[in-house]
Structure 1
Amino acid sequence: MKQVQWSDVYISASAASLAQPESVADAVRQGRCDAQEAELQDYARISVAAEGQTPADMAVAAGRHAMERSGRSDGVELLMHASVGFQGIDHWSPAAYIQNRTIGGRAAAFEVKQASNGALVALNLAAAHVTSGAPSSAVLITTGDAYPLPVFDRYRSDQGTVRADGGAAMLVTRSQGVARLLSTALVGDATHEEIHRAGEQWRTTPGEAGWPVDLRARKEGYLRTDAQPGHAVSQTLIGGNKEALQTALADANTSLDDIEVLVLPNLGRQATDRMFRLTEQGIDFSRTCWDWGRNVGHIGAGDQLAALTHLFETRRVRIGDRIALCGLGSGFTFGCAVLEITAEPDWSPTACLP
């Protein structure tokens, strides 16, 4: 039998930092969210940060919690921070800020900018780093994103998803942990990268075209061109997700039937079913983290790490279970990681930040 792709890479610990829940039904009543779209996507609540809760600080909170859970106080060689949007200050290094407030020391710190697929890209890089390093090698991955007005309208700037605020973290190590990394897969397809910039002119400063960002209008403008029918874009998304999942499963010597939980991005119900073909494959939403995700929203690059944390905190996974973390980012990139649970930690449920 072929060897799994990664043989000695583990998730030592993970954590999430979520903000206060906001009712989507309340947002509909207040006219901030379209009622028909709310019904289709079926979100119940989303995590919304209070004034002063920055993406970087949410990443710090998650990173500290993950380090506490790991029992490791030093020796982390690298910090990778994945994010989608604005991190609180122009022209600075959020990765260095997070490193200074989590692991300190002499670790290198850098950002991974692969949109909502950032955490899975970082996990692939972290696996390569610890594999090539000493037995004590360790990498801390953090994420943090927030979508407040006026820059982004979390309910209307995009479609198929409601953007939420939160951070997440994961410590990747050698030899032991709560889960063993069996495989990772990354797929890129830039055929339709224009969909996220269609109709826009190049600018010299952020916000020159006005706020909030209108991704919905860009997509609709792109899809109105005869050369780029919506079917072609859908097939790219569906095909990329499928290829990443199938590649990771094959490299892990695992079938889809062997996967206990399929962790997907916190997209709306209709968008999730369409992009990952759950109904078509006979996969019930109960095999995903949808019931949790519809009460959190899409927290940028951190959905998969936060969902993994939720699985451990709620004792939903047991030793020997295999799970798949799936993601996609604008551009487009697609990712998947297959894990095998190796421990059942006694972690308390994630609480909202004060």
Structure 2
Amino acid sequence: MITDSHGRYVSYIRLSVTDRCNLKCFYCRTDCAESFIDHEHILSYEEMLRLVKAAQTMQVRKLRLTGGEPFVRKDFLAFLGMLKEECPELDVRVTTNGTLLGGKIPALKHLGVQRINISLDTLNRDRFTKITGRDFHDRVMRAIEDCLHYGLTVKINAVAMKGVNDDEIGAFTRFARDYPVDVRFIEFMPIGGCSHWKREYTLPASDILDRAREEADLTPIERHADTDGPARLYSIDGGTGRLGVISALSDHFCDTCNRLRITSDGRLRTCLFSDKEYRLRPILRSPKLDDEALLRVMTRATLSKPLGYKLLEHLQGNSVCSKVMSSIGG
């Protein structure tokens, strides 16, 4: 297990399988010209599998597959099958916008996926179309119902934006009270060189909780730094689900960060807010370099893993890093 200079160790990797997405969400879009990674630069599934197996030797126990939207990529279910066969002990999870899950949920369960995160920023159909650019709200709601029907653990991620969807905090709280899901509000983060982020859009986690408490009694749930994610979770009195906040801006959790990110073109990023990248694709495609070379780079990257809140302290303009969220993998 590799420990960085701040005493943190890595047990979790977020791997983006594609930078493409079928939605154009307000908080992910930028005012810059849209561009995508060239096909020949995207890692093959075999190369991704090799990376994952190398990471397991560093005691990585959890893998989250993200995008873009992972189900946009052809044969994504086949890749999950490869992971189940080659890495049976790995805890594999998926983050998706839910729009392409129709008919795939039984297969996901068969392939060992027990937990799924679904991005949903509004419970209102018309507002969903305005935020995402597509009228797919009903698809996402059906996907959530189907996931619960088949026994998958569901987390709903909602980016909280003042003046955009903050009037729905009560409705989301009631949703978490009525359904066995984790609803997690994420503070709108300044990601992407030409992003739509502005300070006036930001809604601190403390304000989110204050509004949620107008709807229900919340009780903090003890966090376990070794196993829990970045959300601070609360049980809901009389409810079946839980409410959470991810406060990357107002109340950072850098001291317990245990993750690395790998982009779909094979660039290792140790912090969401840092543009520092380590190129893994050339190693994967070199006939002269083996997995030891991969591990050396991953170890060196981990040792110099920064504290994200320190980078935020130097925020200028509307972004702390140049790449958009869809190309980083969230």
Q: Same fold (TM over 0.5)?
A: no
TM-score normalised to structure 1 length: 0.27
Whose strand fraction is larger, Structure 1's or Structure 2's?
Answer: 1
TM-score normalised to structure 2 length: 0.29
Higher RCO, 1 vs 2 (CA within 8 Å, ≥6 residues apart): 1
